[in-house]
Structure 1
Amino acid sequence: MIFGRRKRRIERILIVEDEPLVAFDNEHVLGDAGYRVVATVDTVADAVAALEDGADLVLADVSLSDGGNGIDVAQAAKARGTPLLFVTGACPVDAQALAVGCLAKPYSQRDLLAAIEAVDARLGGERVRRAPPGLTLFEA
């Protein structure tokens, strides 16, 4: 099919977010867009446990409800070979070594979906044609 959509590399997403309304909104937007949310969690321990279920991408805030942070989640994801996109108000200094990029809060639903598509393209070695506002992608 010439004009068909390409197969996604990212299908299963783990959401690590301590703001309930943001987590709920992300979960529903991603589900409506055809992604499978493997879990929505708000602590480092729950995120590390959820990584065992397998995810193609982790969306992680930096500040989490257990006093831990998204950097701990990013280190665990990196050890498993699972890409992580920080979704946060302030991208951590050492994010480049741990994540594929950062999406700045606040972001729209459209920007979140476009950011995931951009990460999907980057992971496949494709050129990212148009990154949404607030998205910073890091070199592999």
Structure 2
Amino acid sequence: MTANILIVEDEALVAWNMKDILEHEGFTCVDIAPDLDTAAQYFDSSIDLALVDLNLRDGLTGPQIGMRLSSKGTRVIFITANPGQIPDGVDGTIGVLTKPTDDATLMAAVRYAIGSAAGEPVSPPTALKLFA
């Protein structure tokens, strides 16, 4: 299973840790975007999955980023310490993981997002709150 993944996260240590985990598992991290302007460069790119924090260095722009990416066919999982900021989810996105999360949960969520898009029989990890 391979995929191009965009990390949208403004905390450098968190972002680099996610990048290391993903690349160790064979995925390609296309970039780390700390804000809306940087993420916007990928709105028309071929990204399989985006892992998006809600609160970035330019404010609560994660939901907007997630909506724009998903409208272009990118699968989106939010990873945030504040899941209550999107209690009803964001149209077109998969769900939300609460930070901090462990490596195994992160990878289970990534495998679920990529596998379900490919029609594979995969189950979401219990920590991933799916949106309706």
Return the TM-score normalized by structure 2.
Answer: 0.87
Cα shift readout 1:54-91 (whole Å, capped 9, x = no counterpart): 21001000000012421110121022121110011222
Aligned residues: 130
Distance in 2 between residues matched to 1:111 and 1:33, nearest whole Å: 13
Please state if 1:132 is matched with 2:103: no
Structure number with larger C-alpha Rg: 1
Q: CA deviation at 1:41?
A: 1.1
Among 31, 34, 43, the residue aligned to 2:26: 34
Q: CA deviation at 1:133?
A: 4.1
Contact conserved, 1:38 with 1:50, CA < 8 A, in 2?
A: no
Gaps of 5+ in 1: 1-7
Return the TM-score normalized by structure 1.
Answer: 0.82
Aligned structure 1 segments of 4 or more residues deviating by more than 4 angstroms: none
Distance in 1 between residues matched to 2:68 and 2:101, nearest whole Å: 25
Cα shift readout 1:69-127 (whole Å, capped 9, x = no counterpart): 21110121022121110011222134242311111111011111111111123223444
Distance in 2 between residues matched to 1:14 and 1:51, nearest whole Å: 11
Report the aligned-residue RMSD. Answer: 1.8
- Paired letter, 1:103: L
Gaps of 5+ in 2: none
